[in-house]
Amino acid sequence: MNPYESMVERRTQLVFPEDANVLGSLFGGKAVAMMDEVGAILAMRACRKAVVTASIAQLDFKEPIRVGEFVEVVARIVKVGRTSVTAQVELWAEEPASGRRRLSTAGSFIFVAVDEHGKPTPVHD
């Protein structure tokens, strides 16, 4: 079994008015930033090195997340290369009163491990 397969990083927070667009739903850019941050934490924990975002592939916005709802970011490692870590990152919305959850956004994030000079370095020494 790949030791990275079981690695998961999660973060939950409440969506406030300052996080929303004029329609009362979470800004797309804010959603992507949250996903990127949680994915990067996962990648850094996997390789114990600094990482940078190299690519975001197939980012799909499926459902809006409204002010007052919980948003949970879930990141899982799907591939580890020589200098890169690929994470599947999902953004879930949850209605606080009912607990009903729905997938809002999903994407694949590729992070590259870097050394102290910002140059790609092997994920493992």
CATH number, domain containing residue 53: 3.10.129.10
Q: Work out how many domains the chain is built from and give that number.
A: 1
**Residue 121 is assigned to a structural domain of this protein:** no
User: Which DSSP state fits 121?
Assistant: -
Q: Is residue 1 part of a domain?
A: no
Query: How does residue 7 score in pLDDT terms, banded at 50, 70 and 90?
Result: confident
Q: Has residue 83 been placed in a domain? A: yes
Query: Range of 107's domain?
Result: 8-114
* Listed residue (42, 21, 22) closest to 30, CA to CA: 21
CB atoms within 10 A of CB 82: 11
In a domain, 46, yes or no: yes
Examine residue 62 and state whether it is found in any structural domain, yes or no. yes
Residue-wise pLDDT for 27-70, tens only, equals 999 999 999 999 999 999 999 999 999 999 889 999 999 999 99
Query: Do the domain assignments include residue 125?
Result: no
Name 92's bridge partners.
Answer: 72, 103
The SS3 call for residue 101 is strand
77's enclosing H/E stretch is strand 70-80
Whether residue 124 is contained in a domain is answered as: no
Task: Let me know if residue 76 belongs to a domain.
Answer: yes
Report the C-alpha gap between 125 and 113 in whole angstroms: 11
**Residue-level pLDDT at 1:** 47
